[in-house]
Amino acid sequence: MNVEDLQKMALIIRRNIITMLFHAGSGHTGGSLSCTDFATVLMFRELIHNPKNPKWIDRDILLYSNGHVTPVNYSCLAEAGYFPKKDLLQFRKLSGHLQGHPSCHDTPGIEVSSGSLGQGLSIGCGVAIASKREQHRRRTYVVLGDGELQEGMIWEAAMFAGHYQLNNLCAIVDRNRKQIDGDTEEVMALEPLVEKWQSFRWHVITIDGHNISEINNAFQTAKNVNDKPTVIIAKTVMGKGVSFMENDYKWHGVAPKRDQAEKALAELGTSLDEWTNYLASH
């Protein structure tokens, strides 16, 4: 996909997120919306994968360490063809296969069950070093929430990846500066974040996490780094795309009510009934 097509797909993903969260009545809104642009680029441009064969041996591996952002993860998988889009309307329901936190036993395209924050980068390190030892060309991508970086296990994994020069590993930090209790810098400051990663021998790229061209360029740069892992610090806005959700940490784990969903979808150029019907018919 080119930049314009990716922007159009990101809009579709945001519509999916609001609609499925409304129908579920629970879930994580803010981080799903802040991850949408780079998640779209990953799924529809960067990753080598095959929706018709989710376990294809030559696929790249994508792990969401911040597993709670399933609305964006599932939306991308559905739009890519891993399962019918109508399944999104069964999000968090016993009748569906889309749990609130991802399960690799239930949902095609999910590589690892996640949600316990701090674990994803360690898993990514294991995949990346195994790929190097097998001399396999696959790349591993790990999405991290910024509040998650307060977990000690993250930095053990960062030290491991730097030591073993895992140049086939790329981490993406959703740097929206918000977590469940407020601003990250008030809860437990992460800055200076660039210098932290550099001290663990990572190549660091800082971008506007909503600029498709910058996201594309960052992934391309990461593939050309030969002697160390890369972390992309994507500066994002929690709730991006919906004015009354933006930069408000209270939307971390809250689903929109009907009036809020209607207002959000109007800002995204559609209506709740229209987008519900779109999903139900595909």
Structure-token match 């019907």, residue found: 277
Dihedral sign for Cα atoms in the order 56, 96, 102, 2: positive
**CATH label of the domain that carries residue 64:** 3.40.50.970
Structure-token match 């296969």, residue found: 97
The angle formed by the CA atoms of residues 197, 203 and 207, to the nearest 5 degrees, is 85
pTM above 0.75, yes or no: yes
pLDDT at position 173? 98
Low-confidence stretches of the chain (pLDDT < 50) are none
pLDDT at position 46? 98
Do residues 74 and 88 touch, judged by C-beta distance below 8 A? yes
pLDDT at position 111? 96
pLDDT at position 282? 95
* Number of domains composing the chain: 1
Structure tokens at 74: 């599932």
- Structural domain containing residue 220: 3-280
Find the distance separating the first CA and the last CA of the chain, reported in whole Å.
Answer: 21
pLDDT in tens, 187-217: 999 999 999 999 999 999 999 999 999 999 9
Dihedral sign for Cα atoms in the order 262, 184, 191, 154: negative
pLDDT at position 115? 82
For the chain, the C-alpha Rg in angstroms (whole number) is 18
Do residues 203 and 165 touch, judged by C-beta distance below 8 A? no
Residue 82 main-chain phi, psi, to 5 deg: -75, -30
- What is the longest distance spanned by two Cα atoms in the chain? 53
Whole-angstrom CA distances from 243 to 81, 164, 206, 257 are: 30, 43, 24, 15
Query: What does the chain look like in DSSP terms, one character per residue?
Result: --HHHHHHHHHHHHHHHHHHHHHHT-S--HHHHHHHHHHHHIIIII----TT-TT-TT--EEEESSTT-HHHHHHHHHHHTSS-GGGGGGTT-TTSS--SS--TTTSTT--S---STT-HHHHHHHHHHHHHHTT----EEEEEESGGGGSHHHHHHHHHHHHTT-TTEEEEEEE-SEETTEEHHHHS---SHHHHHHHTT-EEEEEETT-HHHHHHHHHHHHT--SS-EEEEEE--TTTT-TTTTT-GGGTT----HHHHHHHHHHTTS-HHHHHHHHHT-
